[in-house]
Chains A and B, each alone.
Chain A
Amino acid sequence: MFLNMFRKFQKLIFKTVILAAGLASAGFGISQMSSNASAQTRETYHQVSDPKNGGLHAHGKEADMSKSFFDRYAAPKDISSTGHRMMWLFRYTSWVTLFFFVLMAGALVGFIWVYRDRPGRVAYYTHGHSTTMEAVVPKILDIAVFVSLDLVLIGASFLHTGGSFGIPYTQLKYSIDHPIWDFPKGPDVVNVQIMPQQWVWNFRYAGNDGVFGTEDDITTVNQLVVPKGRKVMAQIKSKDVIHGFWMTNVRIQMDAIPGMVTRFWFDTTQTGEYEITCAHHCGTNHYKMKAFLKVIEDQDFIAWTKENSDWAQAAYDANDPSTKWGWNWSLYQ
């Protein structure tokens, strides 16, 4: 009886396998097909994805197949003045690891083929003791990896972040202008306080008087407006759970933690509207906790600040708690 069951089971298995293989090729087809069922607006997308709306199929946009593979799945456009260092390091790491990986995989596959068991093949007897020549080769390779990869990564990371084991960063021979932990200060710098909560982003600007916590503070929701080319210094703290402030286009990610202020700075080189995402799992709607980064020209920004600060001053309502958040900027400078 068991045997029979097993036989049936066996058939079933093989059917599933065939089915799965079919599905695979189909899927490959789908994923590679370019289609014009693209460009859904946000609104329709929401309708479609609403479970109660009956299981409609919501496609994303299809990838633009006219582009090369690398361009098609490139990282989001870099609009910062610092991101290129990260991109360089990423590419460098990728190419070097790829090189070693190919070397290694080549050796693996090559050995499997060349030394496969066949009549007459005798294995070479060695324990690879450290004195022998053959034992030196792996070590050399390993050192090559270390020098070409790890040392570069470490060095570049130091330069990039300004981490320098206690040596004043500016005294390092190869220090670069703006490591990410070298926080800018001064009248030219735009200061922003960011306080996410489930599941919106609150932003706060000091307003006309340049002081946080006054009546003319500008507060925005889900929209970060910054002037192109100027440095932006942000202090960030969460209201409830941990969120992750991630501007993919600026290559900056910083956690927002309740009860603790974290800081970062960035600047932008191109105007436009970009998406800001939440990187840390923060509950059911984490997936749509999204804000927009609006980069505008400097003079527009000055006008924007003036207008909104005046408006905030006028509309100030001492009894409205919703805008009364924030902290003393200078405490965390």
Chain B
Amino acid sequence: MSKDQHHQGFMDEQTAHSHLFEAHDEHLHEAPKSFFWKYIISFDAKMIAKQFMWFGLFWGFIGALMSVMIRWAISQPGVPFPLIGKFLFPYTNGVIPADWYTSLFTMHGTIMIFLALTPIIIGFIGNFSIPLMIGARDMIFPWLNMASFWTGFAGGVVILASLFLPMGPSGAGWTSYPTIAHKQWLVGPGHSFWLVGLFLVGFSSIMGAINYITTIIRLRAPGMTWGRLPLTIWSLFLTSILNALFIPVLAAGFILLFLDREYGTNFFLAAAITEKGTSGDPILYQHLFWIFGHPEVYIVILPGWGLVADLLSFFSRKPAFGYRGTVISMTAITVLSTVVYGHHMFTTGLSPLLTSAFTTLTLLISIPSGIFFLNWLATIWRGRIQLKTPMIFSLGMVFTFGLGGLTGLHLGAVSTNMMLHNSYFVVGHFHLTMAASSLLASYAALYFWVPKAFGRMMDEKLGVAHFWLTFTPIVYMFCTMFIEGYAGMQRRIYHPNEYNYLQHLQGLNQYIAIFAAIGFFAQFIFLYNLCKSIKSGKKAGNNPWNIGTLEWTVSSPAPFYNFKKIPTVFNGPHEFSNPKFAEKGLNRDFIMQDEYIEGVSP
């Protein structure tokens, strides 16, 4: 089939169903004027994206503050937490007590993953980029989109409320394993609040996912074939599939656990404990949790992968290397991620057959990972690398993902996992993948799209300062954690000094704590930069980065309906530095996706 026919076929598909929709008398209305409909109950994906952004940043700061408290407790045993300690823990004179320590790491993990990272890397990136990048006027179900944010918000409120409960928030770890998560051992309503809050947050993610998937399938502008989608959109599509399919699994686990806690059922309780005859199974919960949990870790990184793949190409002024390979490997990881979850449960006495199977499947993931990773490197190879802030963050992400991903292999082999499970090695691994890679990718996205979202550029100098003061601490901190894990330090312990063989690690622990504080304070640079830029930054033109994807064809900030006329797409998203441009008399090194140039556009 020639390119032309292909194109024609696609047009048919686009128009085929449109008569059904055209006739629909549900039209979008004019941009809302009142504060309430504009900023609170907004149906506009771009505004919802901003809502998610502020929501995520708010929680990010709470989560980061908690991580600093965690580090303080570990490294300064018995010393009151400075400044706010006396208010928070008056009964211990400001010292972080042991039971609060369990709540701190639980809430830190929960908040960071579900309330800081997910809203930004999926809520913000998704809502902002999907309609603009595929050439649509809005998400396909604006109402659902609004409901998604506010459900997530309600979940956040529940979690926030749980922080002020008299018996404190949940302290079962973000994995919430029974039976420590049962009422018998975790008295107080904190954990039930946690379950309800996360249930709502999960529901919000499902609504978002339904919206994203349908929008990407249905609202692509004419000519925006699957092969011309920006990689960000591809990765959001895959993420949404995982979200839609696996959050319900977690929801089922949460329902059962909630019933166990509040209605005395014993799904996850053994007979010996309940004396009720029939015996539940705590391991069942672990299966349910990790069937969700492993896809979840890819949920929070996939949009980052796609985004970084795009940004590396944009700022190297070079097409993404091996577009098709990147897409295929991301898809392969999406599929594989559903069958490797057992690597979190190697020590639960799984049969050797299962552990070897899970080891093999887990390590298989490194093949597609390697492919897109090397495609990233090949993308910047022989490029013309412009070190703008989004690019710096992307490059940082490549570095940390390499580190974090490769240490996943130590953990993936059951043999070495026996020695590293539940140690700081794991903590180092997942912080480098999640707290470093996903975080840096989220920041790249913010720096990249703030000009389009708010119409103003962010300050480059402050951006660079923010990068180095974030990147350096996280690499130092989390790599040090590998040393500690290797030396045998367990995770989730309040005072490592309790053990003689861990006492010599105290120096390292303090070292990490200091970098955690630096990392935390560095975020204020970002906040300052963001607020200042929104108010008085340099005005961004339509296309400040000189990039060809569709969002840069409209004015900044993007108008309410995104596109006056739905664009027709002719080119891939990464058409840079084609030598033919000069022949055609173009004095720039990129073309827009909706620009038809004889002899250049396919």
Contacts and interface: CB of A to CB of B under 8 A. Distances in A.
A54 B506 contact: no
Interface in B570-586: 576-579
Interface in B477-512: 483-484, 486-488, 490-511
A153 B363 CA distance: 8
Interface in B426-482: 465, 469
Given A112-B380, A124-B383, A125-B319, A23 B490 contact: no
A53 B78 contact: yes
A145 B378 CA distance: 17
Interface stretch (A90-98, A202-210, A298-306, A311-319): A90-98
Q: What band does the interface of chain B fall in when counting residues whose beta carbon is under 8 Å from A?
A: 35 or more
Given A157-B415, A242-B177, A263-B349, A2 B407 contact: no
Contacts of A281: 102, 172-173, 177, 180, 491-492
B402 A64 contact: no
B336 to A, nearest CB: 13
Contact of A275 (B423, B501, B515): B501
A255 interface: yes
A166 to B, nearest CB: 6
B554 interface: no
B161 interface: no
B179 interface: yes
Contacts of A56: 78-79
A262 B348 CA distance: 7
A20 B521 contact: yes
B248 interface: no
A97 B92 contact: no
A284 interface: yes
B407 A240 contact: no
Nearest to A98: B406
B378 A32 contact: no
Given A161-B355, A253-B421, A283-B180, A16 B521 contact: yes
A90 B505 contact: no
A248 B505 contact: no
B270 A16 contact: no
Contacts, number: 421
Given A58-B497, A105-B399, A138-B378, A64 B504 contact: yes
B307 to A, nearest CB: 17
B180 A112 contact: no
Nearest to B386: A117
Interface stretch (A6-14, A184-192, A211-219): A6-14
B513 to A, nearest CB: 7
B16 to A, nearest CB: 30
A142 B370 contact: yes
A248 B418 contact: no
Nearest to B323: A127
B268 to A, nearest CB: 9
Given A97-B409, A255-B348, A280-B422, A75 B487 contact: yes
Interface in B371-389: 371, 373-375, 377-387
A244 B380 contact: no
A90 to B, nearest CB: 5
B599 interface: no
Given A51-B78, A55-B80, A55-B94, A61 B503 contact: yes
B499 A290 contact: yes
A66 interface: no
A127 B321 contact: yes
Given A49-B495, A161-B352, A258-B282, A180 B418 contact: yes
Contact of B322 (A54, A122, A138, A241): A138
Contacts of B384: 115, 117, 121-123
Nearest to A166: B353
B356 A165 contact: yes
A221 interface: no
A321 interface: no
B283 interface: yes
Nearest to B519: A20
Given A20-B469, A75-B487, 13 more contacts: A27-B513, A51-B78, A86-B416, A101-B403, A112-B387, A124-B382, A138-B322, A149-B366, A163-B353, A242-B178, A255-B349, A279-B423, A287-B494
25 contacts: A6-B535, A20-B521, A24-B515, A27-B510, A31-B508, A45-B498, A50-B78, A51-B92, A60-B496, A60-B509, A97-B409, A104-B377, A124-B577, A125-B319, A138-B375, A149-B409, A153-B409, A154-B359, A163-B357, A244-B422, A258-B273, A259-B269, A279-B347, A283-B171, A287-B101
Ranked 8 nearest A-B pairs via Cβ: A259-B270, A60-B506, A163-B356, A27-B514, A138-B374, A262-B349, A163-B352, A60-B503
Interface of A: 2-3, 6, 9-10, 13, 16-17, 20-21, 23-24, 26-28, 30-33, 38, 42, 45, 48-64, 72-76, 83, 85-86, 89-90, 93-94, 97, 100-101, 104-105, 107-108, 111-112, 115-117, 121-130, 134-135, 137-139, 141-142, 145-146, 149-150, 153-154, 156-158, 160-166, 179-181, 198, 239-242, 244, 246, 248, 251-255, 257-260, 262-263, 275, 277-288, 290
Interface of B: 76-80, 92-95, 97-99, 101-102, 171-173, 177-180, 184-186, 269-273, 279-283, 316-325, 347-349, 351-353, 355-357, 359-360, 363-364, 366-367, 370-371, 373-375, 377-387, 395, 398-399, 402-403, 406-407, 409-410, 412-416, 418-423, 465, 469, 483-484, 486-488, 490-511, 513-515, 517-518, 521-522, 524-525, 528, 531-532, 535-536, 576-579, 589
